[in-house]
């Protein structure tokens, strides 16, 4: 069974796409709002009936119902509100993630956990500490979205399919992310040989500001991109496909970093992160990467210690 905790726009988009992919016969939605996950599940079951899918959606307000889940996707959390500092957001969402992590440890102790709660990398650390799981079983979602956006903007300029681009985005999800067009490729050819430095600068800026642009245009943050990204990560876990994606995982010596989760290329399979892939970085690229690492480390230092047990 797959459990999705949080029945907002991202959680429901992910649940629908996982249903369309037929990743499991049972997909459970959990939310603290009474009636919300049950209503969403009922609507999705009507969708399943119309499309002829052999997938049953369920809704619950009880964490104990996730028992037996081998994959738990966490989309719950508060968005950053006007006037709220990043530190205030860290504390508010750390409390939520800590509570959910303890429930996962209790009811789904063998599950792989993928989460989207922001600030993503710091919350990945909180989830890792709260569950007590091996680092490989706690994966932060963001890199798939950031890389997908980078591939989109590169492909638009080259007039090719985004599927032809192998994009690399490292570091922290958010303003300190580090898109790396020079390490991104079109069938073996570096993007740096296909775009001018000015175009590369534009692509990087568009990638970093993509989420803010969506919010500016429609009044709320993205959900279809995250939903799609979560679905393909879930597919790698459920089908043990061992595909490479960009994801946030606690590093243990890779890139010379210890005890900090950060966006890096990984191989995903049934057990979560099968392998962390290390990319050779130039001195300038490594400096930017480490700036992201330090930004995440600073956020983690602002998490109340009680949420790290």
Tokens of 131: 């569950």
Residue of 46, 107, 173, 182 marked active site = 173
Residue 250 and residue 259 in contact, taking contact as beta carbons nearer than 8 Å: yes
Residue 291 and residue 281 in contact, taking contact as beta carbons nearer than 8 Å: no
Judge whether 173 counts as a catalytic residue.
Answer: yes
Rounded distance, CA 19 to CA 49, Å? Answer: 12
Rounded distance, CA 140 to CA 117, Å? Answer: 8
Residue 139 and residue 124 in contact, taking contact as beta carbons nearer than 8 Å: yes
Residue 244 and residue 274 in contact, taking contact as beta carbons nearer than 8 Å: no
Rounded distance, CA 282 to CA 271, Å? Answer: 32
Strands ordered across the beta sheet of 189-190: 165-166, 185-186, 189-190
Rounded distance, CA 124 to CA 90, Å? Answer: 11
Residues belonging to the active site: 173
């Amino acid at each position: 069974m797959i459990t999705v905790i949080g029945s907002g726009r991202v959680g429901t988009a992910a649940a629908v796409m996982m249903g369309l992919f037929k990743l499991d016969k049972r997909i459970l939605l959990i939310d603290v709002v009474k009636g919300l996950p049950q209503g969403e599940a009922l609507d999705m079951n009507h969708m399943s009936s119309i499309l002829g899918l052999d997938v049953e959606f369920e809704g619950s307000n009880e964490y104990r119902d996730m028992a037996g889940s081998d994959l738990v996707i966490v989309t719950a959390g508060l968005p950053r509100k006007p006037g709220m500092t990043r530190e205030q957001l860290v504390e508010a969402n750390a409390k939520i993630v800590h509570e959910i992590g303890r429930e996962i440890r209790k009811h789904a102790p063998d599950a792989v956990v993928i989460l989207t709660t922001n600030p993503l990398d710091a919350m990945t650390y909180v989830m890792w500490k709260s569950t007590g799981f091996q680092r490989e079983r706690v994966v932060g979602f963001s890199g798939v979205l950031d890389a997908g956006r980078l591939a989109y903007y590169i492909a638009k300029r080259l007039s090719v399919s985004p599927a032809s681009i192998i994009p690399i985005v490292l570091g922290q999800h958010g303003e300190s992310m580090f898109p790396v067009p020079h390490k991104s490729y079109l069938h073996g050819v570096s993007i740096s040989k296909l775009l001018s430095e000015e175009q590369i600068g534009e692509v990087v800026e568009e990638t970093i500001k993509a989420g803010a642009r969506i919010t500016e245009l429609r009044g709320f943050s993205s959900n279809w991109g995250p939903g799609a990204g979560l679905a393909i990560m879930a597919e790698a876990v459920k089908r043990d496909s061992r595909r490479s994606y960009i994801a946030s995982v606690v590093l243990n010596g890779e890139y010379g970093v210890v005890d900090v989760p950060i966006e890096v290329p990984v191989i995903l399979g049934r057990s979560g992160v099968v392998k962390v892939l290390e990319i050779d970085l130039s001195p300038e690229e490594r400096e930017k990467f480490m700036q992201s690492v330090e930004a995440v480390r600073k956020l983690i230092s602002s998490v109340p210690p009680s949420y790290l047990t």
